[in-house]
Chain A
Amino acid sequence: MRSGLTYAIAVGVFAVVYLLIATERVPRVGAALGGAGVVIAVGAVGAEEIFYSEETGIDWNVIFLLFGMMVIVGVLRQTGIFEYVAIWAAKRAAGKPFRVMVLLCTMTAVASAALDNVTTVLLVAPVTILLCERIGVRPVPFLIAEVLASNIGGAATLIGDPPNIIIASRSGLTFVDFLVNMGPIIVLNMVVFLALCRWLFRRDFVADPERVQDVMNLTEREAIQDGGLLIRSLVVLALVLVGFSLHSVLHFEPSIVALLGAGVLVLVSRLHSDEYLADVEWETLLFFAGLFILVGALVEVGAIDQLADALSDAAGGDAGNAILLLLFGSAVLSALVDNIPFVATMSPAVLSLVESGPLAGQEYLWWALALGADLGGNATAVGASANVVMLGIARRNGYPISFWEFTKYGIVVATVTVVACVPYLFLRYL
Chain B
Amino acid sequence: MLARELAEPYALVDLDTDALEAARILAADRLPGLVVTDQDGSPYAILPASQVVRFVIPEYVREDPSLARVLSERAADEIVRRLAGNKVRDLLPDKPHQLPVLNGDDTVIELAAAMARMRSPLVAVLEDGRITGVVTAARLLEFGCGAA
List A residues at the B interface (Cβ < 8 Å).
80, 83, 87, 122-123, 125-127, 129-130, 133-134, 214, 217-220, 222-223, 225, 393, 396-398
Shortest C-beta distance, B142 to chain A (Å), equals 37
- B75 surroundings in chain A (CB, below 8 A): 134, 214, 217-218
Which residues of B are found within 8 Å of A129, using beta-carbon distances?
Answer: 58, 60
Residue pair A83, B70 in contact (C-beta under 8 Å): yes
Name the B residues within 8 Å of A225 (CB-CB): 66, 69
Contacts of A125 in B (CB 8 A): 60, 63
6 closest A-B pairs by beta carbon, nearest first, are A126-B60, A222-B69, A126-B64, A217-B72, A129-B60, A397-B59
Which A residue sits closest to B73, measured CB to CB? A217
Kindly list chain A residues whose C-beta atoms are within 8 Å of the C-beta of B72.
Answer: 214, 217-219
A222 touches B64 (CB 8 A): no
Of the candidates B59, B60, B66, B74, the one whose C-beta lies within 8 Å of that of A214 is B74
Alpha-carbon distance A393/B69, docked complex (angstroms): 21
Q: Chain A nearest CB: distance from B51 CB in Å? A: 16
Chain A hits for B74, CB < 8 A: 214, 217
A206 to B144, CA, bound (A): 62
- Kindly list chain B residues whose C-beta atoms are within 8 Å of the C-beta of A217: 72, 74-75
Chain B residues with Cβ below 8 Å from A130 are: 58, 60-61, 67, 70-71
Q: Which residues of B contact A80 (CB under 8 A)?
A: 66
Is B70 a contact of A223 with CB atoms below 8 Å?
A: yes
Q: Which of B39-77 contact A (CB under 8 A)?
A: 58-61, 63-64, 66-67, 69-72, 74-75
> In the docked arrangement, what's the CA distance between A129 and B114, Å?
41
User: Closest chain B residue to A123 by CB distance?
Assistant: B64
Contact check, A398 vs B67: say whether CB atoms are below 8 A apart.
no
The dominant DSSP class at the A interface is helix
A395's closest neighbor in chain B, by CB? B59
B111 to chain A, nearest CB (A): 36
Select the residue from B60, B63, B71, B74 with max chain A CB neighbours within 10 A: B60
Give the chain A neighbours of B67 by CB distance below 8 A: 83, 126-127, 130, 223
Specify the chain B residue showing the minimal Cβ separation from A132: B60
In whole angstroms, what is the CA distance A218 to B72 when docked?
6
16 contacts between A and B (CB under 8 A): A80-B66, A83-B64, A83-B70, A123-B64, A125-B60, A127-B60, A130-B70, A217-B72, A218-B70, A218-B72, A218-B75, A219-B70, A219-B72, A222-B66, A223-B70, A396-B63
A258 to B108, CA, bound (A): 59
Cβ-defined contact, B61 with A126, below 8 A = yes
- Whether A83 pairs with B66 at a CB distance below 8 angstroms is yes
Enumerate B66-95 residues with CB–CB distance to A below 8 Å. 66-67, 69-72, 74-75
Q: Assess A397 versus B64: contact at CB under 8 Å? Given A217-B72, A223-B70.
A: no
| Cα distance, A126 to B60, chains bound together (Å) | 5
- Alpha-carbon distance between A229 and B71 when the two chains are bound, in angstroms: 22
Contacts of B71 in A (CB 8 A): 130, 218
Known: A80-B66, A83-B70. 19 other contacts (CB 8 A): A83-B64, A83-B66, A125-B63, A126-B64, A127-B64, A129-B60, A130-B60, A130-B67, A214-B72, A214-B74, A217-B75, A218-B71, A218-B72, A219-B69, A219-B70, A220-B70, A222-B69, A223-B66, A225-B69
Contacts of A393 in B (CB 8 A): 63
Question: Which residue of the partner chain B has the closest CB to A220?
Answer: B70
Given the known interface contacts A214-B75, A217-B75, the answer about A126 and B63 at a Cβ–Cβ threshold of 8 Å is yes
Measured CA separation A235–B75 after assembly (Å): 34
Q: Which of A87, A123, A396, A397 meets B70, CB within 8 Å?
A: A87
Nearest B residue (CB) for A224: B66
Distance in Å: Cβ of B59 to nearest Cβ of chain A: 4
Which residues from A are CB-within-8-Å of B70? Answer: 83, 87, 130, 218-220, 222-223
Say how far A135's CB is from chain B's closest CB, in angstroms. Answer: 12
Q: What residues on A are CB-neighbors of B66 within 8 Å?
A: 80, 83, 222-223, 225
Q: Which residues in B have their C-beta under 8 angstroms from that of A397?
A: 58-60
Taking CB atoms, residues of chain B closer than 8 Å to A127 are: 60, 64, 67
Cβ-defined contact, A223 with B69, below 8 A: yes
Contacting residues, chain B, for A214 (C-beta < 8 A): 72, 74-75
CA distance A87 to B60 in the complex (A): 14
In the complex the two chains form, what is the Cα distance from A265 to B62 in whole Å?
Answer: 26
Chain B proximity of A19: nearest CB distance (Å):
30
| B105 to A: closest C-beta gap in Å | 44
When chains A and B are docked, how far (Å) is the Cα of A397 from the Cα of B64? 12
CA distance A125 to B67 in the complex (A): 12
Q: Nearest Cβ in chain A — how far from B68, in angstroms?
A: 9
Complex alpha-carbon distance, A290 and B57, angstroms: 40
Q: Which residue of A lies closest to B64 (CB)?
A: A126
Chain A nearest CB: distance from B129 CB in Å? 37
Q: How far is the CA of A134 from the CA of B75 in the complex (A)?
A: 8
Distance between Cα atoms of A125 and B71 in the complex (Å): 16
A129 vs B60: C-alpha distance when bound (angstroms): 7
The distance from the CB of A45 to the nearest CB of chain B, in whole angstroms, is: 40
Nearest neighbor of A80 in chain B, beta-carbon distance: B66
- The proximity string for B residues 88-122 relative to A, scoring 1 for CB distances below 8 Å and 0 otherwise, is 00000000000000000000000000000000000
Q: Which of B61, B66, B69 has the most CB of A within 10 A?
A: B66
